[in-house]
Amino acid sequence: MSKESSAPAPATEAPVTGTPWWLVLLQGIFAIILGLLLLSAPGMTTMVLIQFLGIYLLIIGVFNLVGIFLDRSRWGWKLFVGIAGILGGILVIQHPLWSTVLIPATLVVILGMLALIAGIVGLIAAFQGGGWGAGILGALSLLIGLALLGSPFLGAVALPLAIGLLALVGGIAAIVQAFRMK
C-alpha cells in the first residue's frame, strides 16, 4: 500500500459539488417566470405546458420504438410505451382544449386518491398509538382527498394557481441557494 493513496487531499482543493451554482440560479429564475405566468394567465400557460407535454410524449414514443432496434431487451415494454407515447402525444396535440381540461382533472383525481390513502393510513396509525399529530394529519388528508374527488374540475382550475405559487416560492428558494453556493 503506497503512502500517496492514504494521504488526505490538500486543503487548497475546492470540494467537488454536483451542480454548479449558476445552474441552480437559472433553475430558480425559470421557476419564478413559470410561477408568474401560471399566476397571471393560468389557462393559457396550462394550455402551452400541456402542448409541450404532448410533444414530449410523441418524442419519447418515437425514441422507445427506435430503442427496440438498438437494444432488444424488454422489447415488449418498449413497443407498448412507444405506441402509447405516440398515440398520447398525437391526441394531446390534436385536441389542445380537451387536453388542457382533462389532464389536470386526471391529475387532481390521482392526487385525491393519494390523499385518501394517506388519510386512512394516518388515521390507522393514530389509532395504533401514533399520537394526535398522525390523527390530525390523517383527517386533514382525508378531507382534502374527498374535496378533490368531489370536484375534480374545480381542483383542476385551482391546480395551475397552486403550482404557480409553489414554483414562485421554489424559484426564490433556488436563487437564495445559488448565492449560498457561490
Give the separation between CA 167 and CA 172, rounded to whole angstroms.
Answer: 8
Quick one: pLDDT at residue 18? 82
Distances (CA, A) of 167 to 32, 152, 163, 173: 6, 22, 6, 10
Mean pLDDT of all residues belonging to the chain: 90
* Terminal C-alpha separation, the chain: 38
Reported pTM: 0.71
Quick one: pLDDT at residue 17? 58
Q: What are the b/e assignments for 11-47, b being 16+ CB within 10 Å?
A: eeeeeeeeeeeeebbebbeebbebbebbbeebeebbb
pLDDT digits (tens, 9 = 90+) for 121-142: 999 999 998 888 889 999 999 9
Residue 138 near residue 119, CB atoms below 8 Å: yes
pLDDT digits (tens, 9 = 90+) for 71-111: 889 999 999 999 999 999 999 999 999 999 999 999 999 99
